[in-house]
Amino acid sequence: MATLEIKNLSRLFGNTCAVDDLSLTIGDGELVCLLGPSGSGKSTVLRMIGGFEEPTAGAILIDGQDVTRVPPERRPTGMVFQSHALWTHMNVFANVAFGLKLRRLPKDEIRRRVNGSLATVGLEGYGERKTSQLSGGQQQRVALARSLVLEPKILLLDEPFASLDQHLRERLREEVREIQRRVGITMIFVTHGQDEALAIADRIAVMRDGRLEQLSRPDRLYRQPQTEFVAGFVGQMNLLQGAIRSNVMSVAGIDLPVALADGPATLALRPEDIALEKRGDDGGADVMRVTDFGTHLSIEVRTRCRQRLKIMAPPGTGWSAGMRATLSARKFSVYRDGKLCFMPQPCDVRPAAAA
């Protein structure tokens, strides 16, 4: 349990900037997900927190103490690696016990704690197994137990379940969430699956090209994406290029009042925020395809100016391909130069343009 503070962290590899001036603060017992596309620097951030990579600039503080130059073996962090990195020449028990042995704890205590930790991850009685005799999910749990048994202040997980199948991944991440609540440990979880992030994180940090795009609670991230990138990256979003003229943004046959200066802008519409109305010949859009998911309909339309949109409609509304419709937006946001600059709904986050 601890707080983590990262100040202006940067890391260069030769000439590529893997992490670029990143700052964030993580509170005690919080679970933060690092989310971003491949190569956005998530692993590098995590490895710097763990001490495996030296920052080119910036500082890392754990509980207010500067650990920037402290080697990994003396940091109060524990890491679960993507490739689980179990030591294949040791059995399960020895893998989990290794860190305790290095700390020269008495034998009984080691046994007690290892068994406790194996129980936490649901692997009682597996101690004598070889690591090669475990399934992928079990190996990953051993890796988790191996880190947990040392009671680190901060647990770092780098796409721990990436190599597992969908079901197992969902189950394990629920377990991790459950363990995190029970133990109350601070956790940083790297993933590039947004479902995973939205499902378990207290807050999500979205990264792109080594920079922090947004750090928010999952619901805020979804409802109030602060940048165009986040808007497009998290959840489904229709991003439409258009222009503002005399305080009206018109795009895809929709005219929206926008209190902004004239010029190009991007309109962002969630599929569930678009309303469809059946019309005759003069409708603004053609329905191209309708997929019935049972809980909702996913409708793809094409506007007169050949823009494609995804729309979500309630089930049983009788839409089918070839129909015509007019569109209206219940909710929208407008981005200019990649930044949020207009969002008509009442919100407690001030638009970035005003900040």
Partner 1 sequence: MSRAEATRQDTKGRRPIGLLLVAVPVFLVLSLIVWPVALSVFDTLTVETPSGVTLSLDAYRFFFSDSFSLRNLWMTVQVAAICTALLLAISLPIALYLRFSTSRLTGYIQALALFPLFVPSILLAYALIRTLGPNGTVDILLSAVGLPKLASPYLTIWGPIIGLVWDNLPLTLLIVLAGLGNVSRASIDAARDVGANRVQLLRYIILPRIRSTLLVAASFVILGLFSAFTLPYLLGPAVPEMMGPFMRRTIIDVDDPLQARTQAVVTFLICAAFAYFYVRSIARTRREQSS
Partner 2 sequence: MSMPALRRAGPASLGLSRLRANGAGITIAALLSLFILTPLVNVAIWAFTEIWRYPAVIPQKFGFRFWGDVLSRGDVHLAMTTSLSLAAIVTALSALICLPASYAFARMDFPGRNLFFMSFLTVYAFPKFGLYITIATIFLGLGLIGNFWGVVLIQLVSTLMFMVWIPVSAFQNVDRRQEEAARDAGASPLRVFWSITLPQVLPAISAAVLLTFVNTFYETEVAWLIGAPEVRTVPLLMVRFINSELVVQYGAVLSLLLWVPSFVLLMLVRRFLGAQALGRALGA
Antiparallel, parallel or unpaired: β 238-245 and 248-251: antiparallel
C-alpha distance across the termini of the chain, in Å: 33
Question: Do residues 206 and 24 touch, judged by C-beta distance below 8 A?
Answer: no
Options 37-45, 164-172, 198-206, 250-258: segment touching Mg ion (CB under 5 A): 37-45
Q: How far is the CB of 99 from partner 1 (least distance, A)?
A: 3
78 near partner 1, judged by CB under 8 A: yes
The partner residues of 50 in beta bridges, in order of sequence, read: none
Q: Which of 22, 40, 81, 213 binds partner 1 (CB under 8 A)?
A: 81
Nearer to partner 2, 56 or 82 (CB): 56
Instruction: For the chain, give the number of residues.
Output: 355
17 near partner 2, judged by CB under 8 A: yes
- What x-and-dash track marks residues 17-56 binding partner 1 by CB under 8 A? ---------------------------------xxx----
8 near partner 2, judged by CB under 8 A: yes
Q: Which of 29, 72, 116, 235 binds partner 1 (CB under 8 A)?
A: 72
Q: How far is the CB of 73 from partner 1 (least distance, A)?
A: 5
85 near partner 1, judged by CB under 8 A: yes
Options 86-94, 241-249, 277-285, 332-340: segment touching partner 1 (CB under 8 A): 86-94
Round to whole Å and give the CA distance between 66 and 53: 15
Q: How far is the CB of 42 from Mg ion (least distance, A)?
A: 5
* Interacting residues of 72 by C-beta distance below 8 A, sequence separation 6+: 50, 51, 52, 79
Q: Which of residues 137-176 bind partner 1 (CB under 8 A)?
A: 143, 146-147, 150
178 near partner 2, judged by CB under 8 A: no
335 near partner 1, judged by CB under 8 A: no
Strand-by-strand arrangement of the 324-329 sheet: 274-278, 324-329, 285-292, 297-303, 308-313
Q: Which of 40, 43, 95, 224 binds Mg ion (CB under 5 A)?
A: 43
Q: Which of 1, 5, 7, 10 binds partner 2 (CB under 8 A)?
A: 10
Round to whole Å and give the CA distance between 117 and 123: 9
Contact residues for ligand ATP, defined by CB under 6 A = 13, 16, 18, 36, 38-44, 192
Nearer to partner 2, 8 or 166 (CB): 8
Residue 69 near which of partner 2, ligand ATP, partner 1, none (CB within 5-8 Å, type-dependent):
partner 2
278 near partner 2, judged by CB under 8 A: no
List residues binding partner 2 (CB under 8 A). 8, 10, 12, 15, 17, 20-21, 54, 56-57, 69
List residues binding partner 1 (CB under 8 A). 50-52, 71-74, 77-79, 81-83, 85-89, 98-99, 102-103, 143, 146-147, 150
